[in-house]
A and B are shown apart, each in its own frame.
Chain A
Amino acid sequence: MVGIIKEAAVGSFLSVKQIAIIVIPLMVFMEILKDMGVLNRIANLFSPVVKIYGMKKESGFPLVIGIIIGLSYGAGIIFRSSREDNLPKRDLYLITYFLVSAHAVFEDTAIFMAIGASGALLLVTRLLVAAFFTFLASRLIKDRDEIMSEKAG
């Protein structure tokens, strides 16, 4: 029994330590990027890319922020920019499809890397798959809108 407790205590401590060594510097680095305005610049840089989804340019900002920082923070930004920039419902759906599959990508990847997974493989796969799935969704949702507007017209 004492052996089991010792095994669990040592093992869990080492795991937490291993993760802390990676996560704490990462969070400091992210704050530095935020305060230097790099995060906003990255988001603005990638904004036009969302045009391939047929989305408004303004929709790119909440999407990129959500991918980098996370879903709960991302949702806050999404609500704010959907009010300020008047984002269409279709854009909100597509942003959400992308974000439920890929959000807080650096934090999640760092934690999995700490326990031995290949970080580059995880990050690239996750982003590419989310981007491709959102592309498929963007075609489908567009079709439905066209059908609806044809009916309305």
Chain B
Amino acid sequence: MQSSQRSLSLETIKRGLLAGIDVTWQLSRIIIPIYFIVTFLKHTPVLNLLSGLFSPLMRIFGLPGKAAIVLVLGNVVNLYAAIGAMVSLSLTLKEITILAIMLSFCHSLPVETALAKKIGLSAVNVIAVRATLAIVSGIAFNLIL
């Protein structure tokens, strides 16, 4: 396939910088408010309550109960929201890696499922595949790491 090709110039660097700044901006717009909310929750009983509720389920992946917040935000909103929660909760490197692989396979479900539907796969189909990959990889990483 023939693709329009530009030549390497200062414009290239500029475009890259702008793209990088845009990602950082999109990311901080989400990470900062979520960081604030989670930090506030940490000082209330709410976080411990949620944590206790989800800890039996999250134990399957070797994760603390509070990590459920990360998975919910990542799937309902997007990766940036999940990262905002990950950095504000104090998680170990192993827990961060397990969450990262689970979220890599399954995230931003509303937006990305809509895209997949446009191409012709059903929503149930796509979500089932992604959730399965996330669950299996989470369990596997917990056992291996």
Chain A residues packing against B (C-beta within 8 Å)? 4-5, 7-9, 11-13, 15-16, 19-20, 23-32, 34-37, 40, 58, 61, 71-72, 75, 78, 81, 84-85, 89, 92-93, 95-97, 100-102, 107-109, 111-112, 115-118, 121-122, 125-126, 129-130, 133
Contact = CB atoms under 8 A, between A and B. Distances in A.
A100 B130 contact: yes
Contacts of A72: 115
Interface of B: 1, 3, 5-9, 12-13, 15-17, 19-21, 23-24, 27-28, 31-32, 35-36, 39-40, 43, 79, 83-84, 86-88, 93, 96-97, 100-101, 104-105, 112, 115-116, 118-121, 126, 129-130, 133, 137, 141
Given A112-B104, A129-B105, A100 B129 contact: yes
B121 to A, nearest CB: 5
B31 A16 contact: yes
29 contacts: A8-B39, A8-B40, A15-B84, A19-B83, A30-B16, A31-B12, A31-B16, A32-B16, A34-B12, A35-B8, A95-B119, A96-B116, A96-B121, A97-B129, A100-B129, A107-B23, A108-B79, A112-B83, A112-B96, A115-B86, A116-B97, A118-B97, A122-B101, A125-B101, A126-B105, A129-B105, A129-B133, A130-B133, A133-B129
Contacts of B21: 24
A24 B24 contact: yes
B131 to A, nearest CB: 11
Contacts of B20: 20, 23-28
A95 to B, nearest CB: 8
Please classify the interface of chain B as helix (H, G, I), strand (E, B), loop, or mixed, using the class held by over half of its residues: helix
A36 to B, nearest CB: 6
A118 B97 CA distance: 7
A27 B31 CA distance: 19
A59 to B, nearest CB: 10
